[in-house]
Structure 1
Amino acid sequence: MQSVGEQTYTQAVREGKYDLYVGNLFGKYDNVRTYWEDQLTRIALRPCLTHLVDRKREAGQKVRICDLGCGAGQGYQILTKIDRRDLDLGLQHQRVLNEDEISTYLGLDISQAMVEKGSVLFADKPQLQFAQADLREGLGKIKQEQPFDIYFSSYGSLSHLGRQDLVKLLTDVCEHGHDGSLIVLDLIGRYSIEWPDFWSAESESEKVRQYTMSYLYSETARQEIDIESFPLRFWAGSEVKQLADELAAATGTGLEIINMMDRSILVGRHTDTHEYNPALKPIRRLINSLHEDYLRTDLGDLILDLDVPDHPQITPRLQQLMKSWNTLVEYCQHRLCHNFCLPELKGWNDFPKPLQFSLMTMDRVIADVGWMWYGDPRANIIEPQLGYALRTLEYDMQRGSGCGHGLVAILQLKK
């Protein structure tokens, strides 16, 4: 029996969409993936991963990782490229987890094409192993292995499982892991602006919707080919908390939520496809443009004017974020042509702290590079920094409620 999504993933591997690449304007490894999503996952993981690795070092042990729904092993690069602190102007990285500190990285995926691709990409790293597994059946034979220090997932992989199947898998994980093991859940957020029609879901069946990876293809290709759809389970932050309580009660294991993060709140994959919300601007494409060398972006196109469904918690937060986003973009538009004193900005004292910090950052960036002539400083310095400022604004104002394309939850076992 062909697994859900198998046609899409097999075709994507065949077309090279899972080859290693550093980013672009379109496709799986676009600039938002590289400079926003991967980095935000690393930022969220850094404190707890640092603590785990330091503990293993003190015990003279190496780290064991199980990647649940590993794809072609991209999660390995997320975990091994986390810096211990924000970098200064020195040249050296100090990674939280070095490759030689990993004894085992076991990637599990239902797609044989993915397993084979991962084995090829990382053939020079003997500590990396890949195996085909149906996670709907729990950990299966993996329960015979030694416990892992990290049970990891990335990019919505566990949303392929219905709630009942995810409970089965995580029950196995809770029983298999040891005291201090980390569990990283990467799910699809239900309250994203990409699919406002999904917000009202109440029953379990309504929370499972058909989904496509049409963003892998150009707009022309999307109109000409038959793109597979498959069911995904969409999650709210409150549901993850309920799930953790349920697992703790069922297994008798302590399960602490260390962090929950909304990722890609305004720049999710389907903001460009309009597949679920035709009213959206192609905002992800515009953010990709900010991070592209020698490409200037019309900042006016970044201004958001979007109605969102009425939800007592989600709607006010999204409205505040969009208002702050627009304030930052509009200020940069003006500041590129005029000198300006920030405290004179209307409403300054009432701005959220993350917005004030972003405004001060961009004011300083523009002031400091205004004298440069070589290398198009607007395209290559100012616009990327605006991208990072907007990214930081999203991160600092999110609350892990499920209002982004991705919902990342980091849990720790207490035994």
Structure 2
Amino acid sequence: MKVTPEQIKTVYDQSNAVQHYLSKSRRDGVKVDWEEPFSRSVFKQAIAPVSKNKGEKLRVVDIGAGTGDGYVLLSTLLLKDPELSGSYELEYLGVDISTQMVETAINLYGNHSNVGFECADIRTSKLARPFDLYLSCGVPYSHLTHKELDQALKMIVTNVCENRSRCAVIVDVLGRYSIEWTPQWQNSRWNYSMSFFQSEGDKDPTWMSFYSHQHLQEIMQQAANAVGCPVEKFEFFDRSIMVGRHTSTRQFNPGLPNYRDLVNSLLSPSQQTDLSQLIFQVELGAAPEHILDFFRKFSSWWNRLVSDATELLGEPLAIATVELPPEVQGFKAAAQKELQQISDKHLYRQKLEFMLAQVLRKLEATQQPGYGVGHDLFGVMWLDATRL
């Protein structure tokens, strides 16, 4: 059989993608301590309204499963979360359009009980059985056009209606208004590179779709309406507002401070961080007023916390005093109390930097508005077709 240049390129691209997702360097401090816990918290909130009796199977299909990251995140949540531990028996199916991704996932997790992976295109493949959670992570839906996303969601909603089930649908996409790409804020689809590191800056870009929460909710609601399935509610969550991976590569916003690298430095006991570089100093693009208003408020809170830390180091910054949200109030006093017994300057700074990382993470997690202002936008839709 003759192999075309296009087929050769597809195999090459899939092989590179697999290596890309399996790279150990990809799981940096921000991913492990910041992003993955947030993703698990979204999964937990999605599961809660469709909870089952203890010990029953939680049936999950992971759309665009790749090499199985969603399975790892979800199984870790169900195993280690004190409120969920032992509550469910996970029955997991990962679906991906890439044969190499599926083969890799099978090699990694195929021997785990009640875990399977299969190659399918969610835009055209009909799901064979009901699920309690239609999962996605790693922005698989952003690979689709807006019309294709509508098509894929209709396939899911049709499955829900045919099985008269109650479920949660998680749609993970790229946020339109991330500071990583302010020059592109006026566009909802553009040529994007899936690079994680500066060394990958020459990776071939691919067209991707970007969403505000209004746009994403509109498509989700349209899909449900077209099939005739009742929507119980929607919720939206922004992940990685300040630490998206392209704050490190700065591929789409060259003047952006490398916030991800700086936060990774805070988390590393072997590094000393220039805290003044953490100050929010981003030139925003044209955006709806509620987006700009969010960044004005969020940046003032972020800068206040960084300034509190520099004052404890005797390196004060000229930052305006603002009232912090209740979730992060008292950081300076708590840090001062924690550090007063540490006389070693290196240990003092090391401890303070770690505490600053934790409070900045908490600020992001508790004040994210779900507008599409982070690297990821999670849209969660709860459906109830039990009475149809």
Superposed pair shares fold, TM > 0.5: yes
Q: Residue in 1 aligned with 2:352?
A: 382
- Counterpart CA distance in 1 for 2:119 and 2:60 is 16
Q: Does the CA contact (< 8 Å) of 1:244 and 1:255 recur in 2?
A: no
Fraction of identical pairs, as percent: 28
Change (3 A) 1:230 1:48: closer
Q: Give the partner amino acid of 2:29.
A: N
Cα 1:405/1:338, change in 2 over 3 Å: closer
- Looking at structure 2, the residues matched to 136 and 352 of structure 1 have their Cα atoms a distance apart, in angstroms, of 45
Deviations 1:280-329 (A, max 9, x none): 01111111111123322121111121220243111111121112111110
Instruction: Supply the distance in 2 between the matched residues of 1:8 and 1:402 (Cα, whole angstroms).
Output: 28
In 2, the alpha carbon distance for the partners of 1:251 and 1:80 equals: 31
Q: 1:296 to 1:368 in 2, by over 3 A?
A: same
8 Å Cα contact 1:328-1:359 kept in structure 2: no
For residue 365 of structure 1, the aligned residue among 335, 348, 355 is 335
**Structure 2 unpaired stretches of 5+:** 1-5
Aligned to 2:178: 192
What is the alpha-carbon root mean square deviation over aligned residues? Answer: 2.8
Match of 1:212, as an amino acid? S
CA gap of 1:300–1:386, structure 2 versus 1, over 3 A, is same
Q: 1:294 to 1:72 in 2, by over 3 A?
A: same
Given the alignment of the two structures, is residue 38 of structure 1 paired with residue 13 of structure 2, yes or no? no
Name the SS for the 2:77 alignment partner. coil
C-alpha spacing 1:347/1:383, structure 2 compared with 1 (3 Å): closer
Label 1:320 to 1:346 Cα distance change in 2 as closer, same or farther (>3 A). closer
Report the counterpart of residue 150 of structure 1 in structure 2. 133
Q: Distance in 1 between matches of 2:350 and 2:47?
A: 33
Structure 1 unmatched ranges of 5 or more: 22-26, 85-91, 202-206, 340-344
Is the counterpart of residue 250 in structure 1 residue 236 in structure 2? no
- 1:393 is matched with which residue? 363
Give the whole-Å Cα distance in 2 for the aligned partners of 1:122 and 1:52: 26
2:116 pairs, out of 115, 124, 129, with 129
Seen in structure 2, the aligned counterparts of structure 1 residues 3 and 364 have a Cα distance that, compared at 3 Å, is: farther
Amino acid at match of 1:402: G
Q: Give the match for residue 336 of structure 1.
A: 313
Pairing partner for 2:240 from 264, 271, 275: 264
Q: 1:96 aligns with which of 76, 81, 84?
A: 84
Over 3 Å counting, the alpha-carbon distance change for 1:171 and 1:378 in structure 2 is farther
1:407 aligns with 2:377: yes
Corresponding position of 1:204 = none
The count of residues paired between Structure 1 and Structure 2 equals 374
Report matched runs for 1:7-406 at 5 Å. Answer: 7-14=12-19, 17-18=21-22, 27-53=25-51, 55-57=52-54, 61-82=56-77, 94=82, 96=84, 98=86, 101-102=89-90, 104-137=91-124, 140-141=125-126, 143=127, 145-177=128-160, 178-201=164-187, 207-215=188-196, 217-219=197-199, 222=201, 226-311=202-287, 312-337=289-314, 347-348=321-322, 351-354=323-326, 357-372=327-342, 377-378=347-348, 380-406=350-376
How far apart are 1:252 and its partner, in Å? Answer: 0.8
